[in-house]
Chains A and B, each alone.
Chain A
Amino acid sequence: MAKYLLLKHYRGAPASVNDVPMDQWEPEEISAHMQYMRDFAARLESTGEFVDSQALSPEGSFVRYDGEGRPPVTDGPFAETKDLIAGWMVIDVETYERALELAGELSAAPGAGGKPIHEWLELRPFYGQPTVVE
């Protein structure tokens, strides 16, 4: 098994095919979208492939050390152009092909007009543990 991170972006990913902000959808389209996401996670749990899923607030800033005795420096809130993570799902699957397949399904979640969003998701493999047999 190998773990993969599916990253969802507020900003920074290429534009979705069906790129309409959620507050412009019909209310029942929002319900359909939420239901799809819940069903997707539940199905992964039932197949034993779900590890974790979290959502992040869009508020945030960069922080760095600024020398002994000085408070850390912050930068932000982010400018519109910067990459901004919205959340992630971690899956544990047999193959890279399976990870691709699941990312594709998640990207097909319904959006405005009930049509798939075709959202770009970032798929990142975790580094695994070194094997015992060299």
Chain B
Amino acid sequence: MNESLLRELVPAVIGVLVRRGADFAAAEDAVQDALVEAVRVWPGDPPRDPRGWLITVAWRKFLDAARADASRRHREVRVETEPVPGPGKAVDDTLRLYFLCAHPSLTPASAVALTLRAVGGLTTRQIAQAYLVPEATMAQRISRAKRTVSDVRFDRPGDVATVLRVLYLVFNEGYSGDIDLAAEAIRLTRRLAAATRHEEVAGLLALMLLHHARRPARTGPDGRLVPLAEQDRGLWDTRLIAEGVDVLQAALARDRLGEFQAQAAIAALHADARTVEETDWVQIVEWYDELVRLTGNPVARLNRAVAVGEADGPRAGLAALAELDPSLPRHTAAAAYLRERDGDPVNAARLYAEAARSAPNLSERDHLTRQAARLNARLRG
């Protein structure tokens, strides 16, 4: 029984059922039922055509459920005749499913949960574990999401940007429990990239690959955060970096820049430096300028200020920072970093301690407290 093969097939099979007229919620239920049967039957009697088998069984499950539903409500079964199976347009079906699960009528958390289940083929239990909520809670979130999109009809193409936002959210959750959400996001983005020639899909895939490549270096043996400048670059995954750069270059060559391509370009420049001193900060600032132009995002402006501090010196960085809203997340941490670079350990230590108090997670709080402690220890001499 190959679980990853099964999971690869899920979205295509749901897609076929939807194309044959099943509504999405019923199709999803039927495919989950078919998976349960596959787990039971396949080990003793493996099918020659797993995809065909799943489509046949899921369609039967759907018809059974529809008939039971119809007789319960004393009304006609809408779907009576089984359509000719024919060769499925697997790519279109999969794409349609991505759009459906990231539909703008869903909240981000619902879209993420639905995508992981219907496109990713994860079980509700696995998704619940990954997001550290009870299984019953996740089950409710998913069934509400299914109800929300059950009446959506695809008379016009979906918006790729909404799909990319969902995949980006999944990737950024990292991993907890037994599911590696970053790896899962990469798998789903890869498949999306294979199904559509969209520059930003490629941009997001490149961004994920380039960040994922650094993961082995990002935490120390005791679980503590290691900032980019201090990472052991020998631990970076050169194969993933090479792939990310290839994907990015092919996307940039099409000359339709977007925010994910710009972010990936910045990640690629970091990946390209064998030592932190070799980093091409001037180019990185230029890419941040593009990113700010494309998005106007205040977080991009903040990161740009730090990059300016590296390219043109800490004073220039502090000047860029002074133009931004001090209540921005990580503003104080950036100020602390630039103050230290500017030879002002007293204020840097104070700002690091202040930044620690407003850190968004324990890893960052720990890291910022350590920075303050390091400077205070040095000041005590």
Q: Which residues of A contact B (CB under 8 A)?
A: 21-27, 29-31, 34-35, 38, 55, 57-59
Contacts and interface: CB of A to CB of B under 8 A. Distances in A.
B374 interface: yes
Given A34-B222, A58-B357, A23 B366 contact: no
Interface string B364-381: 001001101110110000
A11 to B, nearest CB: 12
B377 A27 contact: yes
Contact of B369 (A30, A57, A59): A30
Contact of A22 (B362, B369, B374): B369
A29 B380 CA distance: 15
Interface of B: 222-224, 349, 352-353, 356-360, 362, 366, 369-370, 372-374, 376-377
A27 B374 contact: yes
Contact of B377 (A26, A34, A59): A26
Q: Which 4 A-B pairs have the closest CB atoms?
A: A23-B372, A23-B353, A27-B373, A27-B374
B373 A30 contact: yes
B373 A25 contact: yes
B369 A23 contact: yes
A74 to B, nearest CB: 17
A27 B370 contact: yes
30 contacts: A21-B353, A22-B369, A22-B373, A23-B349, A23-B352, A23-B369, A23-B372, A23-B373, A24-B373, A24-B376, A25-B373, A26-B373, A26-B377, A27-B370, A27-B377, A29-B373, A30-B366, A30-B373, A31-B222, A31-B224, A34-B222, A34-B224, A34-B366, A35-B222, A38-B222, A55-B362, A57-B358, A57-B359, A58-B357, A59-B358
A122 to B, nearest CB: 21
Contacts of A22: 369, 373
Most interface-central of B359, B360, B370 (chain A CB within 10 A)? B370
Contacts of B356: 23
A30 B223 CA distance: 13
Contacts of A25: 373
A26 B370 CA distance: 9
B377 A30 contact: no
A130 to B, nearest CB: 23
A55 B366 CA distance: 12
Nearest to B362: A55
A23 B214 CA distance: 28
A108 to B, nearest CB: 20
Most interface-central of B353, B370, B373 (chain A CB within 10 A)? B373
Contacts of B353: 21, 23
A79 to B, nearest CB: 16
Contacts of B366: 30, 34
A57 B356 CA distance: 10
Contacts of A23: 349, 352-353, 356, 369, 372-373, 376
